[in-house]
Amino acid sequence: MELTKEEEEMFVGEKGDGVQKAMEIVVALGKIYNAEKLVMVNSVQVSGVSYKNLGDAGIEFLEEWARKGGRVSVRTTLNPAGMDLENWKRLGFKEDFAQKQLKVIDAFKKMGITPICSCTPYLIGNLPKFGEHIAWGESSAVAFANSVIGARSNREGGPSALAAAIIGRTACYGFHLNENRKADFVFNVNCEVKDFSDFGALGNIIGRTVKNKVPYIIGIKNYNQDDLKVLGASMAASGAVALFHIENITPEARTKNMIKDSAEKIKIDSLDDGYNSLNSNVNEIDFVSIGCPHASVDELKRIAELVKDKKLKAELWVTTSKYTSEKAKDYVKIIEQSGGKVLNDTCLVVAPVEDFGFKNLATNSGKAAFYAPSYSKLNVRFGSLEKCINAAIRGRWE
Amino acid sequence: MKLEGRIIKFGNVEGEAIVSTEPIGFLGGVDPETGVIIEKGHPLEGKSIKGKILVFPTGKGSTVGSYILYKMKRKNTAPIGIINEDCEPITAVGVIISDIPCVDKIEINKIKNGDRIIIRGEKVVVE
């Protein structure tokens, strides 16, 4: 791999230990994937923020890197933490978990990162441009950035994203290169896909089929930005999809042929397979979670409309970024008046949900429904937002 | 015997080989408190990799495995060097953040359990 003179200096430690460590990580990954060079990046999303995933070893690692002078040099945002960073006590998070989580955040702060924690960085000011090289962790955000924005990112791990943020570079391989962005599969969708949960079910089916390859989807007519957000999230959970194209919708598919000659063609006539694989048969619901990926202002508005003047029987968590909930203060108030909770900075997948004693979850997210049984030991009902809010009001799935 | 591979993490180290014919996943596959392989049915199940030069084809499993290697290094239960056929990102990130010398692109079937190994950068001497 070719390094510039400045990159060589970083690699041999002339810019300090923290920079050297970062350069070593990026160069090693470049070697493994046969990168010929590094590319500059101006946007990084760091995953591996929740103490639930990092553990004590992760804290020590981050603190050591900060001590060695690791400082980010480009726009960097963080993935959700394991709790609401301000309101954790009121929301019932345990003291010992909270103290550990705050140590993680402190280490990131020392590295120069403003702790805005969200899986939707593109909604809170970290919005790359079409064609821009970026280094993002968080599988759902990578799928959105590559596909809906047309930026270029591999699925970075926590340390490799942080390394890229410190040196402002990532290794040029995988989805940074034109030749790897064409679709390996073409899906002809012949059934109606309209609700947010429909997009999650479709994503679940496609992800399981293509694994880490690139799908091209034909037959999507009505959609909004939130639908594309959950489509990618669900594909990235059931598979390892980092990039998808939708005919006439996503930017690369609109401008050129993004299908490989060898692409396999598959028909989808029903979403039942997706719904069935994400649903268990429980009917009593004690927990409802909305906001995976983090809810937008528009989603908070729809939830507020559904719970207005109602009293909830089941616990309702709406997870979003602090930025979004501040923009949607009036909706947050209505949700809280119904007994629902709006949690900033965290989400179902990375919070220590098992500490709260919930049993049966209802969610409209194809990603949350995929992970909840294994990560949080919950039985899951998966369906539309209306069904989920109805379950929150009545304590039953109907 | 002298072998030559590719540096993943530069370093010089000498020690005894412990060889796995199967991939290793550090999260759930190794007990970081003791350095003993705990994956059920793994060829090295019950064996300690602490203080050894660990030889295996490639890594597998969760990316949290990088932090497990780091934890082992801090607790003195980590291998002192790693030799792979093909290194993958979990092991690569793990050895770099833990300062464990690592070489890949080595024909690992030429190394046997108990061999004395010297790693010098990209060079591996088997005695």
Question: What pLDDT score was predicted for residue B63?
Answer: 78
Say if residue A119 is in the same domain as residue A28: yes
For B22, the token pair is: 């199967």
Residue of B nearest to A162 (CA): B93
Residue of A nearest to B87 (CA): A32
Question: What pLDDT score was predicted for residue B50?
Answer: 98
Say if residue A38 is in the same domain as residue A87: yes
Say if residue A201 is in the same domain as residue A292: no
Which residues of chain B neighbour A25 with C-beta distances below 8 Å? Answer: 92-93, 96-97
The answer to whether residue A170 neighbours chain B at the CB level (below 8 Å) is: no
Question: What's the full length of chain B, in residues?
Answer: 127
Report cis status (omega within 30 of 0) of the bond before A293: yes
Cα–Cα dist A364/A379, whole Å: 14
Look at residues A141, A176, A211 and tell me which one is the last residue of a structural domain: A176
Residue of A nearest to B98 (CA): A61
**Cβ–Cβ of A57/B74 closer than 8 Å?**
yes
Q: Hey, how many other C-beta atoms are within 10 angstroms of the C-beta on A257? A: 11
Contact A46, A105 (CB under 8 A): no
Secondary-structure percent of chain A, ordered helix, strand, coil, rounded to 5? 45, 15, 40
**Cβ–Cβ of B89/A56 closer than 8 Å?**
no
Question: What pLDDT score was predicted for residue B27?
Answer: 84
Say if residue A379 is in the same domain as residue A291: yes
Q: E strands along A181-243, which residues?
A: 183-189, 215-218
Look at residues A144, A176, A208 and tell me which one is the last residue of a structural domain: A176
What amino acid is encoded at A328 in this protein? A
Contact A329, A300 (CB under 8 A): no
Contact B91, B120 (CB under 8 A): no
Instruction: Read off the pLDDT band of B64 (50, 70, 90).
Output: confident
Look at residues A135, A161, A176 and tell me which one is the last residue of a structural domain: A176
**What letter does residue A52 receive in the DSSP assignment?**
H
Q: Residue A226 belongs to a domain with what CATH number?
A: 3.40.1010
Distance in Å from the first CA to the final CA of chain A: 58
For A274, the token pair is: 């997706």
Question: What's the full length of chain A, in residues?
Answer: 398
Say if residue A102 is in the same domain as residue A244: no
Residue of A11, A29, A33 to mutate when probing chain B, most B C-beta within 10 A? A29
Question: What pLDDT score was predicted for residue A164?
Answer: 98
Say if residue A28 is in the same domain as residue A123: yes
Contact B32, B6 (CB under 8 A): no
Task: Please name which of A118, A141, A160, A200 lies closest in space to residue A27, comparing C-alpha atoms.
Answer: A160
For A279, the token pair is: 């649903």
Domain, as residue range, for A196: 182-271
If one counts the domains in chain A, the total is 3
B2-126 is a CATH 3.30.365.10 domain: no
Question: What pLDDT score was predicted for residue A78?
Answer: 97
Residue of B nearest to A156 (CA): B89
Residues of B known to be catalytic: 62
Residue of B64, B72, B73 to mutate when probing chain A, most A C-beta within 10 A? B64
Tokens 């990316």 found at: B63
Say if residue A224 is in the same domain as residue A333: no
Say if residue A159 is in the same domain as residue A36: yes
Written as tens digits, the pLDDT of chain A (398 aa) is: 999 999 999 999 999 999 999 999 999 999 999 999 999 999 999 999 999 989 998 999 999 999 999 999 999 999 999 999 999 999 999 999 999 999 999 999 999 999 999 999 999 999 999 999 999 999 999 999 999 999 999 999 999 999 999 999 999 999 999 999 999 999 999 999 999 999 999 999 999 999 999 999 999 999 999 999 999 999 999 999 999 999 999 999 999 999 999 999 999 999 999 999 999 999 999 999 999 999 999 999 999 999 999 999 999 999 999 999 999 999 999 999 999 999 999 999 999 999 999 999 999 999 999 999 988 999 999 999 999 999 999 999 99
Which residues of chain B neighbour A157 with C-beta distances below 8 Å? Answer: 63, 66, 89-90, 93
Question: What pLDDT score was predicted for residue B86?
Answer: 94
| Closest CA–CA distance from residue B8 to any residue of chain A (Å) | 6
Q: Domain-by-domain residue ranges, chain B?
A: 2-126
Backbone angles phi and psi of B59, in degrees to 5: -85, 170
The answer to whether residue B20 neighbours chain A at the CB level (below 8 Å) is: no
Distance in Å from the first CA to the final CA of chain B: 7
Which one of A29, A55, A58 has the shortest CB-CB distance to B92?
A29
Residue of A nearest to B7 (CA): A28
Say if residue A158 is in the same domain as residue A259: no
**Cβ–Cβ of B93/A29 closer than 8 Å?**
yes
The answer to whether residue B92 neighbours chain A at the CB level (below 8 Å) is: yes
The answer to whether residue A160 neighbours chain B at the CB level (below 8 Å) is: yes
Say if residue A219 is in the same domain as residue A368: no
The answer to whether residue A221 neighbours chain B at the CB level (below 8 Å) is: no
| Closest CA–CA distance from residue A238 to any residue of chain B (Å) | 15
Residues 24-63 of A with CB under 8 A from B: 24-25, 28-29, 31-32, 53-58, 60-61
The answer to whether residue B97 neighbours chain A at the CB level (below 8 Å) is: yes
pLDDT at residue B62 greater than cutoff 80 = no
Better pLDDT: B65 or A364: A364
Cα–Cα dist A69/A137, whole Å: 22
Say if residue A88 is in the same domain as residue A200: no
Contact A161, A46 (CB under 8 A): yes
Say if residue A172 is in the same domain as residue A27: yes
Sign of the C-alpha dihedral computed for residues A121, A123, A127 and A130 taken in this order = positive
Q: What is the pTM of this model?
A: 0.94
Question: What pLDDT score was predicted for residue B28?
Answer: 85
Contact A142, A61 (CB under 8 A): no
Contact B76, B49 (CB under 8 A): no
Helix axes of A51-67 and B65-74: crossing angle, nearest 10 degrees? 60
Q: What is the DSSP string of A314-359?
A: SEEEEEE-HHHHHHTHHHHHHHHHTT-EEEESB-TTTS-GGGGT--
Q: Residue A384 belongs to a domain with what CATH number?
A: 3.30.499.10
Question: What pLDDT score was predicted for residue B61?
Answer: 81
